[in-house]
Structure 1
Amino acid sequence: MQSPEDLKNALLRAVDRVGQGTSDFDLNPEVVLPKGRVLKQAGVLMAVTHDAQVILTKRSAHLKNHPGQIAFPGGRMDDTDTDLVQTALREAQEEIGLDPTCVDVLGPLPSHETVTSYTATPIVALIPSGLTFTPEPGEVAEVFTVPLSHVTTIANFAVQGRRWRGQRRQYYTVPYGPHYIWGATARMLRSLAEVWDD
């Protein structure tokens, strides 16, 4: 297993390598997006523990957007946030009780446009291993971890599809155990996997 310092350096190299932004429509070039659409800014925390586990959440089943889906802690940028790093840290504290003072922010990955008209920017960070998380029950049903090695292995990703607004929509998946990781979360993880060299 890598030392925390080696892991940090590998993550920093990946952050430096990642190229252009991604979209929920990457695999669906035939989709015509409405002109003049306004995208809301969001920040999500791609937190990796010192023992190389990625923190993910299962969203509450009653949420309006993406109910029951797997997601990074994060959400919409508030007017009081100075930047998207603060957004991601604030949301992670609200959603899973992560103390922002123990987060080592390494940098952003390119933003990802979602079908719900958000531009989500993943903020890559290192956190200590063994932390206890407290899910906010109104938003988060579960907090769990996935090995970084699983989500940085391209062979673990697949393309699947379903009907969405009358059209066939394709998307990336990277399942792990009982967790079906797909859509925006899987696409952002794949961006990391595409440049990972550990």
Structure 2
Amino acid sequence: MRFTWKERLAEGLSAPAAVRQRRLFQELNPGADHSPILKRPPTTPRPAAVMIGIRDTADPTIILTLRAPTMPSHAGQISLPGGTPKDEDDGPVGTALRETDEEIGVPPSAVNVRGTLGEHFGGLGYVVTPVVGLIDPSAEILPCPREVDEAFEVSFDAIVDPANHVIQDREFSGQPYKMFAVPVEDTQGQHRNIWGLTAGILLTLSEIVHGSA
């Protein structure tokens, strides 16, 4: 019997591995607690939440953004919609829903939240809670030009395919380090190199969908 993508996703989200904490930078760089991009280690991780928004169709896609070059953090990088919490947010889910509305114009009413993943610690001082939500197929994507240069979609199957997850070597100021990456094509055939914390979060999604975590 072949399970549907929704069944595989639901089973993965209910597994203990889905809520485990991951210290992504340390996993690849033992003994290092932060990226060499930072001048000093962060004193307190900065909380954030992101939306793994899966368009709910027979051939599902995951919505990602290319952040505007003027953004104060992660400028010009590929990200999942998300950001830091505000007082009015109802926990990480509320933060992810609000940011998804603000960044790509998808309102909370168009998102069916299915669960959350455990906290993911990156190398730049953020601790991120990923929220998994199914996006109404009719929802229009309207990127906020102040925050988002471009919104695009990648096949869910491509994102969760273990063969598409790699480790890349990087260097900053002469100091080498490793990072997670997912080099894939989007639905328009354009090459996208998803890397860093976003790639690590998508690796966890891949692992729970395939039961390999």
Is TM (by shorter chain) over 0.5? Answer: yes
The reply on whether 1:190 has 2:184 as its aligned counterpart is: no
The reply on whether 1:55 has 2:63 as its aligned counterpart is: yes
Query: 5+ unaligned residues in a row in structure 1: which ranges?
Result: none
Say what the alpha-carbon RMSD is for the aligned residues.
Answer: 2.1
Aligned match of 2:188? none
User: Percent identity at matched positions?
Assistant: 34
Is the partner of 1:30 in helix, strand or coil? coil
Paired AA for residue 20 in structure 2? Q
Distance 1:65 1:165 in 2: 19
Query: 5+ unaligned residues in a row in structure 2: which ranges?
Result: 35-39, 186-190
Distance 1:70 1:174 in 2: 11
Aligned match of 2:48? 42
Where do 1:95-110 residues align within 5 Å?
95-110=103-118
Distance 1:123 1:165 in 2: 34
Q: Contact between 2:182 and 2:193, CA under 8 Å: does it hold in 1?
A: yes
Paired AA for residue 145 in structure 1? E
Aligned match of 1:180? 193
Is the partner of 2:142 in helix, strand or coil? coil
State how many pairs are aligned.
195
Single out whichever of 31-40 and 156-165 deviates more from structure 2: 31-40
Is the partner of 1:77 in helix, strand or coil? coil
Q: Deviations over 1:14-60 (max 9, x none)?
A: 11222522233120013145778211211100010112100111111
Single out whichever of 15-24 and 30-39 deviates more from structure 2: 30-39
Where do 1:111-126 residues align within 5 Å?
111-126=119-134
The reply on whether 1:29 has 2:30 as its aligned counterpart is: yes
Q: Deviations over 1:87-140 (max 9, x none)?
A: 000000000101101111011011111222111110001112242211111110
Distance 1:65 1:24 in 2: 18
TM-score (structure 1 length as normaliser): 0.90
